[in-house]
């Protein structure tokens, strides 16, 4: 009789910052029913991975589920996998963080379930060749990866019915290839189809292994899968058919495979992740070309043979594709080195430093660093959670390293590793990051009292899938486009818009959104033109290089940005000198900005000048509103668009955060306001996301030769008094 060995693994994770109702819904629709079903089938062996984030939540909210897992472990049905505690993409953080996060989850598993995990789930299966040394140092014996990784090394489908060994500098690691065929049949095809596939690969010797390992969210949490897996009993029917064929399908834990079967050989895998991820990392034009080539190969029935040679980018490309992701990762990286340096000091509060490291690791949770079929980076609540933990860690580091009560410091260095310097300014109240090379703009405002970054925003940019949104709009479809049979579609096959007319929001920014951005508008520019970034920018200031100088006097830092640039005034290109001096105090969260604009032309000029401020307030709900001291507004919501004249005192109040962000202008301005809304893809379809509210005070100027116009703007942040 021909036989086959079968190893089955499930990965469960919810990101830091996800809403509690999402955790709760996922638990009741996926995690718990899955456990209850497999409990009925004690011979069905499963390797389970839970991120530390999810295990903590289950322990706090549904402790009885941990008891169930422990029972399954005791009877030998379940083995647990370790991994990065906060489900980090380990490769982009220091080795000490890699090992620390793995060891932390291993300890939790040992203490909670009385079992030593020998294998690891690698977040998003992002592989890089240097990992074996690090993972082996953390006592990891094996990792489960996609078969795609192995095929990139030239191995055929038939050569993947087992496991391989790799090494780095002599540190050995076992690697199991996940079958892509099974990833698309389980649980989306009828169980018998999987059995037929097993028959096709079974051998008389019974020495072959087939591996399934994928997200547990496929079993009840992804769209339509709850009814499919539990209402239509797919999971039970699958387990029944495995049990029925147990005479030739042998269920094995991965650790058992290592003892029973010999490795197929040695392999060295290139940098890779699963195939879909490699496409998501690409810039829009390459994204579409990749898709076109895949479709062409499939149409010509060449994909099965040559598709493996069609490769996209790799995970780190997200740090080039999204400056906001790169900025966050580099801030976390920089802080990790600070903590490492403090650890070497004998005279340091070790408990406080340990707490700072814990916050730092939480800030490494992978979900808000990238974007694919999941919302990820586009979701402000996920970004906010990571920023909040980063700021908490940064505050503790400041408390440890700074001896004075009121202090102020600055660093000028290439933070984001693009060859150009950034300026970091830190006080007990704030953390600020300026880009001298991009308009002297401000791209980070950490208000430490609330551990909140007001510039945790995402600029609007084209995504490769936006063309599909336009196509959907043309066809006016409101239902998912699925396969023609009755199978439940994978989220990779779904095409659905959660609301109508999303194509109207597909505007793209040609500069990175931030604050203190200096605009010169063309005559006739409308608020609509400006808000959609389709307007004539007459100056060369917004994203260009500014010179800067920094001076600290007692408890105040003076940061001055200067640029000699050009502005089109009618048909004339006019030389303009712009300076903006920022005054930042160690004892306050206020920033005072003094603007001076000088006409260096030989004739009088008319200019339309404005300063852009962005505030990312997480949402546009009723707990947050815009105000103008001088006016009553018909609509004070953060999603509203309006133009108001003669304004000098305005801002945003956030009752949820308990904050008032106020701006005062020395000279009354026309004030434009509008929201920045992005359109992204999530597992439930295309959706609109609120990113920030833009406040844009602007003035029309008439300057004689050598005349200087100036104004002062004060940005203040205050905590609202409780009733």
Residue keyed to tokens 């303009």: 576
Nearest CA-CA partner of 282 in 353, 200, 362, 371: 371
CA distance 339 to 330: 14
pLDDT of residue 480 exceeding 50, the answer is no
Q: Which run of H or E residues covers position 644?
A: strand 642-654
- 124, 422, 444, 537: which is the annotated catalytic residue? 124
- 56, 215, 294, 529: which is the annotated catalytic residue? 215
If you ran DSSP here, which 8-state letter would residue 93 be given? S
pLDDT tens, position by position, 353-367: 999 999 999 999 999
Q: How is residue 720 written in tokens?
A: 């609202």
Pairing assessment for the beta strands 659-682 and 685-703 based on DSSP bridges: antiparallel
pLDDT of residue 482 exceeding 60, the answer is no
Q: What is the mean pLDDT of the chain?
A: 94
Q: Which run of H or E residues covers position 529?
A: helix 527-531
User: What's the N-to-C CA distance of the chain in angstroms?
Assistant: 78
Does the active-site annotation cover 654? Answer: no
Tell how many helices (H) and how many strands (E) occur in the chain. 21, 26
CA distance 617 to 432: 17
pLDDT value for 723: 62
Q: Which percentage of the chain shows pLDDT scores above 70?
A: 97
Nearest CA-CA partner of 428 in 589, 187, 316, 309: 589
- The domains located in the chain, with CATH, are 4-273 (3.20.110.20), 317-453 (no CATH), 504-719 (2.70.98.10)
pLDDT value for 575: 98
CA distance 690 to 679: 9
CA distance 442 to 436: 9
pLDDT tens, position by position, 337-350: 999 999 998 788 99
315 CB burial (10 A radius; 0-12, 13-18, 19+): buried
- Nearby residues of 278 by Cβ (< 8 Å), 6 or more positions away: 272, 311, 312, 313, 314
pLDDT of residue 710 exceeding 70, the answer is yes
Does the active-site annotation cover 499? Answer: no
Q: Which run of H or E residues covers position 689?
A: strand 685-703
Beta partners for residue 686, in sequence order: 497, 681
pLDDT tens, position by position, 580-593: 999 999 999 999 99
Q: Which run of H or E residues covers position 355?
A: helix 350-362
pLDDT value for 430: 97
Average pLDDT over residues 507-536: 96
pLDDT of residue 484 exceeding 50, the answer is no
Angle, vertex CA 272, rays to CA 158 and CA 372, nearest 5: 115
Q: Which percentage of the chain shows pLDDT scores above 90?
A: 89
- Nearby residues of 23 by Cβ (< 8 Å), 6 or more positions away: 14, 54, 57, 61
CA distance 278 to 274: 7
CB neighbours (10 Å) of residue 207? 15
pLDDT band at 76 (very low <50, low <70, confident <90, very high): very high
Question: Do 242 and 249 meet the contact criterion of CB atoms below 8 Å apart?
Answer: yes
């Amino acid at each position: 009789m021909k036989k086959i060995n079968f190893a089955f693994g499930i990965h469960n994770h919810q990101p830091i910052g996800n809403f509690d109702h999402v955790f709760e819904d996922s638990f009741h629709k996926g995690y718990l029913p899955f456990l209850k079903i497999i409990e009925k089938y004690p011979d069905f062996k499963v390797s389970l991975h839970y991120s530390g984030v999810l295990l903590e939540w289950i322990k706090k909210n549904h402790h009885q589920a941990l008891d169930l897992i422990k029972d399954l472990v005791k009877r030998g049905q379940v083995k647990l996998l370790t991994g990065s505690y906060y489900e980090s993409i380990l490769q982009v953080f220091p080795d000490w963080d890699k090992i620390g996060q793995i060891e932390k989850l291993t300890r939790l598993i040992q203490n909670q379930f009385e079992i030593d995990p020998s294998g690891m789930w690698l977040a998003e299966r992002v592989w890089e060749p240097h990992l074996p040394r690090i993972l082996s140092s953390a006592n990891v014996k094996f990792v489960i990866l996609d078969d795609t990784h192995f095929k990139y090394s030239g191995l055929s489908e038939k050569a993947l019915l087992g496991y391989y060994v790799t090494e780095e500098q002599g540190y050995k690691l076992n690697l199991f290839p996940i079958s892509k065929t099974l990833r698309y049949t389980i649980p989306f095809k009828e169980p018998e189809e999987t059995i037929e596939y097993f028959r096709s690969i079974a051998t008389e010797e019974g020495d072959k292994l087939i591996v399934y390992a994928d997200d547990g969210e496929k079993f009840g949490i992804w769209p339509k899968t709850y009814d499919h897996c539990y209402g239509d009993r797919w999971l039970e029917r699958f387990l029944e058919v495995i049990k029925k064929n147990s005479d030739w399908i042998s269920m094995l834990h991965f650790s058992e495979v290592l003892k029973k079967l010999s490795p197929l050989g040695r392999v060295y895998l290139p940098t890779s992740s699963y195939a879909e991820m490699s496409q998501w990392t690409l810039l829009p034009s390459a994204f579409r070309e990749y898709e076109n080539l895949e479709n062409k190969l499939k149409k010509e029935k060449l994909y099965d043979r040559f598709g493996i040679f069609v490769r996209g980018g790799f995970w780190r490309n997200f740090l080039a594709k999204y400056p906001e992701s790169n900025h966050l990762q580099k801030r976390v990286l920089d802080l990790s080195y600070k903590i490492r340096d403090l650890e070497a000091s004998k005279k340091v509060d070790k408990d406080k430093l340990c707490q700072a490291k814990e916050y730092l690791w939480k800030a490494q949770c992978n979900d808000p660093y990238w974007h694919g079929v999941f919302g990820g980076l586009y979701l402000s609540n996920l970004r906010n959670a990571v920023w909040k933990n980063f700021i908490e860690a940064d505050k503790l580091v400041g408390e440890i390293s700074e001896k004075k009560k009121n202090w102020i410091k600055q660093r000028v260095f290439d933070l984001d590793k693009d060859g150009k310097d950034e300026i970091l300014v830190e006080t007990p109240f704030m953390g600020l990051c300026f880009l001298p090379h991009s308009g002297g703009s401000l791209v980070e405002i950490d208000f430490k009292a609330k551990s909140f970054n007001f510039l945790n925003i995402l600029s609007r940019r084209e995504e490769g899938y936006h063309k599909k949104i336009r196509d959907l709009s043309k066809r006016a479809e409101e239902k998912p486009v699925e396969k023609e049979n009755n199978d439940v579609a994978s989220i990779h096959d779904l095409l659905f818009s959660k609301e109508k007319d999303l194509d109207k929001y597909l505007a793209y920014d040609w500069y990175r959104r931030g604050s203190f951005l200096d605009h010169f508008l063309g005559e006739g520019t409308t608020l609509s033109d400006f808000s959609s970034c389709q307007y004539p920018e007459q100056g060369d200031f917004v994203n260009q290089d500014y010179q800067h100088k920094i001076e600290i006097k007692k408890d105040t830092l003076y940061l001055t940005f200067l640029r000699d640039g050009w502005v089109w005034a009618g048909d004339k290109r006019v030389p303009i000198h712009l300076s903006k001096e920022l005054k930042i105090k160690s004892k306050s969260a206020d920033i005072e900005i003094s603007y001076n604009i000088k006409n260096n032309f030989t004739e009088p000029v008319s200019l339309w000048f404005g300063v852009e401020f962005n505030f990312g307030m997480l949402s546009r709900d009723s707990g947050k509103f815009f105000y103008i001291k001088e006016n009553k507004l018909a609509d004070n919501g953060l999603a509203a668009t309006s133009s108001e004249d003669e304004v000098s005192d305005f801002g945003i109040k956030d009752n949820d955060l308990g904050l008032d962000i106020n701006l005062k202008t020395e000279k009354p301005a026309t004030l434009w306001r509008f929201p920045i809304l992005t359109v992204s893809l999530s597992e439930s379809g295309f959706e609109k996301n609120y990113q920030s509210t833009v406040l844009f005070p602007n003035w029309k100027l008439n300057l004689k030769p050598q005349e200087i116009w100036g104004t002062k703007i004060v940005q203040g942040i205050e905590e609202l008094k409780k009733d």
